[in-house]
A and B are shown apart, each in its own frame.
Chain A
Amino acid sequence: MKEVVVLSGKGGTGKTSIVGSLAALADDKVLADCDVDAADLHLLLSPSERVRNEFWSGQVARIDEDKCNECGLCQELCRFDAIKDFRVDAVSCEGCGFCSHVCPTEAITMRESMAGYWFISDTRYGPLVHARLGIAQENSGKLVAVVRQQAKQIAEEQGLDYIISDGPPGIGCPVISSLSGAGLALLVTEPSLSGIHDLERVLGVCRHFGVPAMVCINKYDLNEENTRQIESQCLSQGVEVVGRIPFDNVVTESIVQGVPVVEYSNGNVTREIERMWHLLR
């Protein structure tokens, strides 16, 4: 079984459109949407929800006003500025529990918080594991870990060849959680100076965690000079460029229609994504 995670560093480079297309092209796979705080893959795959689970994670402090003698120790020790005027700001609280351990009147308790949901759905392309992190919640990395673990279990039970996952933008906690231990990272970039800068950083994360990476340059013809720069930088780092997708409004049109672009058009974009899948598999 091979786990392919699609990442980008910079947001909006086309990860989800590519994962949707790979969903249509690959046989015997399970799909995972690891972008749990702005998940979009379901908009291309029309899933029907089969299983819904609550995601309980992290704790939030709560002060019992009747027991609190307003000594202020909790406020003084909290490093996250989460306590003001003897009240807890649940959004700032990181759930460390320091306050609850030191409160002399035992007025502070820690409570588990429901931080979102995860789902297993059926799509016409195969099973999809996806999630919804609650608004303004922490622990996106833990929810990503749940999504990956469920996808892996499905792949093992059903003897599937691939796990294909749509990763979050950035290089921090949920990206690391999506990437560590995966078989291959497909990095989707665009030929802008920002795209080049961000690709460099996410390549660094792949190296740090020892995950082999390949690169796809989306909208490559928007700036062919920058495209050449990306290619030569990849070459010098021994990273293969497996796709060069031209800019074409059919991609946006396919998103509006809610279908993967390879099922919407049979033009250059589709041919290039098909070619790329042959190199990835």
Chain B
Amino acid sequence: MIISIASGKGGTGKTLIATSLALSLSDAYKVQLLDCDVEEPNDHVLLRPEITGSKAVSISIPKVDEEKCTYCGQCAQVCAYNAIAVLGNQVLTFPQLCHGCGACCYLCPEKAITEESRETGVVEWGHSNGVGFAHGKLTVGEAMSPPVIRKVKEYANNKDGIVIIDVPPGTSCPVVEAIKGSAYCILVTEPTPFGLNDLALAVETVRELDIPCGVVLNRAGVGDNKVEDYCREKNIPILLTIPLDTEIARLYSRGIALVDGIPQWKSSFIQLFDKITEIVDERSRSAKR
């Protein structure tokens, strides 16, 4: 079962939930944690995994053989991203703009374009305390995270167990890339107008993908009650509430997972998982009916 942890708003506690959920379940299940927040991956800060392997992530960009090229301009015409241009007797490529679709290469009438790979990030994998681990890192200065996210997700090799995906903040293409294919999505939020505004956007995103979702309310006790009101109105379960507690914040600041610092929390995360299993099972039963 794949469970993704998303939020809309950044800094609400995705990493805290993802790491503690993984650690709480690893005694009883085979668990894998995939950190798909490849722009700012943080799960490794809390899990300190032993990294056992890594592989570069590349996209294919065009390489023009000017001896074969007739400067006909077909490649520039078909490129949707303005990543290749023909100016007189010169072909210019803009690797940063290229999405690696391969159209220019395939459609060149002179077969003058081949592809070469350009590195945009890296995937690393290993394990920590019985949790299988993989994360991706987008190279600093690179714009496109989805190809790196796709690669991290290829390391999900745990069909019978549990795969937990830490999703980047926001609601646009990297989020969709990370959440796609999940059986359930946990949305982490906080009880403030910012938290509510971004939760509502995240709910729309997961509903667009037809993935069931529930909420973890973090830093409860400050703010207002509007997140609870919203969840009631939209019929979204609040699966777990974590109070605002400077002790929890301090543990996090030192890179200590919540269930390592305060082991009593483990049972709450196991209950969280049991609730999700129940919802997912019920959903698949009613789909069969």
Contacts and interface: CB of A to CB of B under 8 A. Distances in A.
A223 interface: yes
Given A10-B40, A197-B42, A38 B192 contact: no
Interface residues of A, number: 64
B48 to A, nearest CB: 10
Interface string A102-119: 100000000000000000
A24 interface: no
B204 interface: yes
Nearest to B102: A79
A190 B169 CA distance: 17
A145 interface: no
Interface stretch (B63-71, B124-132, B171-179, B268-276): B171-179
B88 interface: no
Given A96-B101, A172-B145, A193 B173 contact: no
Given A102-B106, A168-B170, A208 B140 contact: yes
Interface string A81-93: 0000000000110
B254 A95 contact: no
A179 to B, nearest CB: 11
Contacts of A97: 78, 80, 103
B194 interface: yes
A40 B198 CA distance: 8
A43 B197 contact: yes
Interface stretch (A64-72, A146-154, A252-260): A252-260
Interface residues of B, number: 59
A56 interface: no
B169 A38 contact: yes
B189 to A, nearest CB: 11
Interface string B201-245: 100110011000000000000111000000000000000000000
B201 A171 contact: no
Interface string B131-143: 0000000101111
A79 B255 contact: no
A119 B131 CA distance: 46
Contact of B45 (A59, A135, A137, A193): A193
Interface string A232-276: 000000000000000101001101101000000000000000000
A219 B244 CA distance: 14
A135 B140 contact: no
A65 to B, nearest CB: 22
Given A16-B194, A170-B169, A197-B42, A96 B174 contact: no
A222 interface: yes
Interface string A175-187: 1100000000000
B107 interface: yes
A267 to B, nearest CB: 16
A19 to B, nearest CB: 12
Nearest to A10: B40
A91 B176 contact: yes
A133 B173 CA distance: 11
Interface string A21-58: 00000000000000001101001000000000000000
A226 B170 CA distance: 27
Contacts of B12: 11-12
A195 B102 CA distance: 38
Given A11-B40, A96-B80, 11 more contacts: A10-B10, A37-B175, A38-B170, A97-B78, A97-B103, A135-B171, A175-B39, A192-B255, A219-B249, A223-B250, A256-B193
